[in-house]
Amino acid sequence: MNEQTQSVLDKYQGKYTPYTHLNDQYVSLTASESAEVLYDLLKSLKEEAGYDYLCDIAGVDYLTYPDAEDRYGVIYALVNTESGARLFVKAHANDPAPTLPSVYELWNGSNWMEREVYDMFGVTFQRHPDLRRILMPDEFVDYPLRKDYPLRGLGERHSMPSLTRAES
């Protein structure tokens, strides 16, 4: 981890837990810390520490995970395109209304990635310009990658409304 990254992280001292796993740097924020500092932290990392590339946003449902404190995890995989360094920022959110700030203003590429996390896990992103389902149909009500959603579905395939020619 270089000096700029360290100085950015020092600004948020006590608001996160850093750790290293398999040579990758992680910064983990609990649900309350995420609500408080996630956007500012990502913004500083982008503007001051050079993490200008948002590689991926991965959603995870930690419902049955051993020793998990918060239910939903959203992992922002950042890359510094100058040095090639990677940093993973893990934010968390909880039921009943899992919410995180949208990073669309920082990285336009987050548009579809956040929509996918919303579609699959039901985590809403505040200030996202167009938060709709992306892969599942609009009338789908569940969030399929949540751990309490069964692998074979809840019979939606058989009760999907069929569109008649007159209605279309």
Partner 1 sequence: MPLTASPSTTLLPDSDGQEYQYTLNFGPQHPATHTTLRLILTLEGETIIKAVPDIGFLHSGFEKLGEDLDFNQYVTIVDRMNYISPVANEIAWHHTVEKLLEIELTPRCKYIRTILAELARISDHLLCIGAAALDLGALTAFLYAFNEREKVYNIIEEASGQRFHPSYTRVGGLMNDVSDKFVELVRDFVKTFPPAHADVVRLLNRNRIFVDRTKNVGVLTKEQAINMSASGPIARAAGVTRDLRKDEPYLAYEELSSSFQMVCATGGDCYSRYLVRMGEMMESLNIIKAAIENLPSGPINVTADGKYTIPDKSSTYRSIEGLIQHFELIMWNRKFDTPVAETYGANETANGELGFYLVCDGGNHAYRARTRPPSFIHFSLFPMLIEGHQISDVPAVLGSLNIIAAELDR
Residues forming the site for partner 1 (CB under 8 A): 21-22, 24, 52-56, 58-61, 64-67, 75, 77, 81, 84, 86, 88, 107-113, 116, 120, 130, 132-139, 144-145, 151, 161, 163, 167-168
Toward partner 1, which CB reaches closer, 11 or 150?
A: 150
Toward partner 1, which CB reaches closer, 100 or 120?
A: 120
Rounded to a whole number of angstroms, the minimum distance from the CB of residue 165 to partner 1 is: 12
| Alpha carbon separation from 124 to 95, 114, 121, 136, 163 (Å, rounded) | 11, 8, 9, 16, 29
Angle at 109 between CA 103 and CA 75, to 5 degrees: 55
Toward partner 1, which CB reaches closer, 36 or 79?
A: 79
Toward partner 1, which CB reaches closer, 8 or 117?
A: 117
Rounded to a whole number of angstroms, the minimum distance from the CB of residue 62 to partner 1 is: 8
| Residue ranges of E strands in 4-161 | 17-21, 24-28, 53-61, 72-79, 86-93, 99-101, 124-126
Angle at 94 between CA 91 and CA 99, to 5 degrees: 65
Rounded to a whole number of angstroms, the minimum distance from the CB of residue 52 to partner 1 is: 6
Rounded to a whole number of angstroms, the minimum distance from the CB of residue 37 to partner 1 is: 22
Rounded to a whole number of angstroms, the minimum distance from the CB of residue 36 to partner 1 is: 24
- If we measure between CA atoms, which residue out of 95, 83, 91 comes closest to residue 12? 91
